[in-house]
Amino acid sequence: MRLAAVAGLVASACLAFAASAAQPVLVLQSDFGLLDGAVASMKGVAVGVAPDIHIYDLTHEIEPFNIWQGALRLVQTAEYWPAGTVFVSVVDPGVGTDRKSVVLRTRSGHYFVTPDNGTLTFVAPRLGIDAVREIDEAVNRRKDSQKSFTFHGRDVYAYTAARLAAGVITFDQVGRALPAEVVTIPHEAARFEDGVVYGNIQTDDGNYGNIWTNVDRATFDRLGVKRGDRVQVTVLNGGKEVLKLAVPYAATFGEVAVGEPLLYLNSLDSVSLAINQASFAKKFGVGSGPAWSLQIRH
């Protein structure tokens, strides 16, 4: 009897775990901040669609109107969430205009509900575009919100995303199919040409001032650089040289003296520049964004 009871408890626990794993997961990102009720309103709409939905915040501290920054936070985070996760990203300075409202399904099985304004610049190529659909607002819009033109995050995106995550609608029911492409923000692509690695300076990491680029390990490895070798780094802004510096290629910050610069591969396996226990961005006046690029030579 005891074994039977234990077996019953285990079976119940397994079923509960399976049910929990099957519950819809929604991840929210915006430039709204948390001073007012905008984020809570989006969550309320989602819970109204699916009371058992699991809602998580990626961030709501994107710099206002900074689509580039929103695009970076998505690619920094998305692949660590399980397939089937639905992301809502609302950095939408063109709200109410003719920019498209879309859902991207990636080859990794993730969904992104967002204005197609450049927000998908990085996550689409990293996770792969499986399909794109335009949100049909005649069907996928919060009831009685047709006269609201400036809060699509609540009325369209959170509502559609919750319906999709909860299985109320299928991906095909989001709206009409679009070409398998998204709007991208022009920037220097990572590449290796004639002995030089080219790339874009995407961002700094905030607290520490390390510079993060879009140069992946495979592209960097084409230089044939070994750990401890020095490389020549040239930083440009709008095509104009800002900095030229020789730095060692290291695996960790502690491989150079405190206050010394280095090149390393960050947690996304991409080339980064840092100073051991200081800010590379501040010391050398290096910014980030579409206009900032770098060249690396051995």
CATH class for the domain made up of 2-178: alpha beta
The pLDDT of 113-133, averaged and rounded, is 97
> What does each C-alpha distance from 169 to 49, 72, 173, 227 come to in angstroms?
11, 29, 6, 51
Q: Which pTM was predicted?
A: 0.86
User: Residue 146 has what pLDDT?
Assistant: 65
Cβ(297)–Cβ(249) below 8 Å = no
The pLDDT of 170-195, averaged and rounded, is 97
For residue 149, what pLDDT band results from cuts at 50, 70 and 90?
low
> What does each C-alpha distance from 234 to 190, 201, 240, 250, 293 come to in angstroms?
14, 11, 10, 18, 8
State yes or no: pLDDT of 167 exceeds 70: yes
φ, ψ for residue 287 (rounded to 5)?
A: -105, -165
17-21 LR contacts (CB < 8 Å, sep 24+): none
Tell me 48's DSSP state.
Answer: H
User: Residue 136 has what pLDDT?
Assistant: 94
- What percent of the chain is predicted at pLDDT more than 90? 81
Q: Residue 215, Cβ neighbours under 10 Å: how many?
A: 26
Report the C-alpha gap between 28 and 191 in whole angstroms: 32
State yes or no: pLDDT of 275 exceeds 90: yes
Report the C-alpha gap between 126 and 120 in whole angstroms: 10
263-266 LR contacts (CB < 8 Å, sep 24+): 263/231, 263/233, 263/296, 265/217, 265/220, 266/205, 266/210, 266/212
Task: Establish whether domains 2-178 and 191-297 are of one fold.
Answer: no
Report the C-alpha gap between 54 and 29 in whole angstroms: 15
> What does each C-alpha distance from 184 to 71, 124, 125, 213, 278 come to in angstroms?
10, 9, 10, 17, 33
φ, ψ for residue 20 (rounded to 5)?
A: -65, -40
- Identity of the residue numbered 79: E
Note the pLDDT tens digit of each residue in 13-67.
Answer: 443 333 344 689 999 999 999 999 999 999 999 999 999 999 999 999 999 999 9
Report the C-alpha gap between 132 and 111 in whole angstroms: 10
Cβ(227)–Cβ(245) below 8 Å = no
Note the pLDDT tens digit of each residue in 255-267.
Answer: 999 999 999 999 9
User: Residue 3 has what pLDDT?
Assistant: 47
CATH number, domain 191-297: 2.40.30.90
Q: Where do the domains of the chain lie? A: 2-178, 191-297
- H/E element, 91: none
Report the C-alpha gap between 32 and 95 in whole angstroms: 13
pLDDT, greater one: 93 or 271: 271
Nearest Cα neighbor of 156 from 196, 191, 113, 187 is: 113
